[in-house]
Amino acid sequence: MICHHDHARQAAVDRHQLLRPHVSCRIGHDRPADGHPPRCDQPFGGTPGGDTHDGEVLGETHLPATIDIVDLHSIEQTLAELGEPRYRAGQVWRWTAQGAPDYASMTDLPARLRDLLAEQVPFSTLSVADEAVARDGTIKALFRTHDGRPVEAVLMRYRDGRRSLCLSSQSGCPLTCAFCATGGMRFGRNLTASEILDQALHFRRLEPVDHAVFMGMGEPLINLDNVLAACRRLPEIGISNRRTAVSTVGWIPGIERLRDDPMPVRLALSLHAADPALRSELMPVNDRYPLDEVIAACRSYYERKRRMVFVEYVMLAGVNDSHIQAVQLTELLEPRMFKVNLIPYNPTDSPYRGSSPKAIEAFRAELERRGISATVRLTRGREIEAACGQLAARARAASAV
């Protein structure tokens, strides 16, 4: 927060602070794999368009891939129109990335310019529609885009000080996983890079953040251009690429592109069943990208990146949580390449029920016994319906009444 009583001195202090990583959360140590920090004179680079190739494959060409009316590019454009020097955009971005609450607080910008920006460029591409705080400190936000699309993001606070964001890559989801609240929603559209970053910035304005997972709404690998453009800027917000994970249903073209991209972003695979028929039942996308090909793509990711792939496995009572299914899972995965995260199911309107803690523990023990490293994910924010798509679904239900 900035005090206004002594602008000149305060500005100097703030500038100094902006140049250093925030010590308390040890951010900013990792660089993109190419070793070059992002250039500050082009702070908003990235592809505004969505990954239309993948969209075309899905047969959604009638939907706009992205709508990029108000976003970070507008700041660059507005500054250029005002005849401001190029470095101004870098200044605005640095303030924003460090959690500045508005243009007014950017004290090394001329006051006239701050006023003009406030008039002409919305500070965020998202407005907050709802926010819920759980007893464990988890905060879930429901945003709306300028065209009224719902977007969810969650801040998870851990005892060890980690502050992890769960980000959305799409409004709604084109895939229809049977147990997922987002899967039951209508697909809206890909989010722009700015709309993804603005989720992170919303929480960065509350406190420093250091981890991110693309496990909110949507399939990030169907919107990979914008997800990667956002990942390129996340380190400046405090989240290194190594501390960023992209979670996929197994969208093979996206896994291959992520493998070939120089950023050291982690891959997480939503597996949920080692048996192809059961997986197709839970995740119809399995018919399109069959399990063995998905696992082969993950292996090639591992070989290239030398980073373990995290396998997510939602524990559904009587569906995928038996002893034999644990054994099947160990037969599918190589211990050196894959690590399993067992996810307690967050109940939704679906007919599925979560496995009991005892069943989850037995499953985990069997994986470990057979050499597969497995953890049970901490349940965060259950009472605020922090699972994928749940807040938006609730808002929709409420507005339908």
Residues near ligand SAH, by CB under 6 A: 177, 179-181, 215, 219, 247-249, 270, 312, 314, 343, 345-346, 348, 387-388
What residues contact 312, with CB distance under 8 A and at least 6 apart? 247, 268, 269, 270, 271, 272, 341, 343
Catalytic residue list contains 388 = yes
Between 77 and 350, whose beta carbon lies closer to ligand SAH? 350
Q: How far is the CB of 312 from ligand SAH (least distance, A)?
A: 4
Between 66 and 270, whose beta carbon lies closer to ligand SAH? 270
Q: How far is the CB of 286 from ligand SAH (least distance, A)?
A: 12
242 touches 266 (CB < 8 A) = yes
Q: How far is the CB of 381 from ligand SAH (least distance, A)?
A: 11
3-state helix/strand/coil string of the chain: CCCCCCHHHHHHHHHHHHHCCCHHHCCCCCCCCCCCCCCCCCCCCCCCCCCHHHHHHCCCCCCCCCCCCCCHHHHHHHHHHCCCCCHHHHHHHHHHHCCCCCHHHCCCCCHHHHHHHHHHCCCCCEEEEEEEECCCCCEEEEEEECCCCEEEEEEEECCCCCEEEECCCEECCCCCCCCCCHHHCCCCEECCHHHHHHHHHHHHCCCCCCEEEECCCCCHHHCHHHHHHHHHHHHHHCCCHHHEEEEECCCHHHHHHHHHCCCCCEEEEECCCCCHHHHHHHCCHHHHCCHHHHHHHHHHHHHHHCCCEEEEEEEECCCCCCHHHHHHHHHHCCCCCEEEEEEECCCCCCCCCECCHHHHHHHHHHHHHCCCCEEECCCCCHHHCCCCCHHHHHHHHHHHC
Q: How far is the CB of 154 from ligand SAH (least distance, A)?
A: 11
Among candidate residues 166, 177, 231, 388, the one labeled active-site is 388
Catalytic residue list contains 166 = no
Between 75 and 316, whose beta carbon lies closer to ligand SAH? 316
What residues contact 352, with CB distance under 8 A and at least 6 apart? 178, 179, 316, 317, 319, 345
Between 100 and 285, whose beta carbon lies closer to ligand SAH? 285
Between 181 and 239, whose beta carbon lies closer to ligand SAH? 181
47 touches 229 (CB < 8 A) = yes
Between 75 and 271, whose beta carbon lies closer to ligand SAH? 271
Q: How far is the CB of 117 from ligand SAH (least distance, A)?
A: 34
Between 219 and 321, whose beta carbon lies closer to ligand SAH? 219
Q: How far is the CB of 317 from ligand SAH (least distance, A)?
A: 13
Q: How far is the CB of 294 from ligand SAH (least distance, A)?
A: 12
Among candidate residues 60, 76, 84, 152, the one labeled active-site is 152
What residues are labeled active site?
152, 388
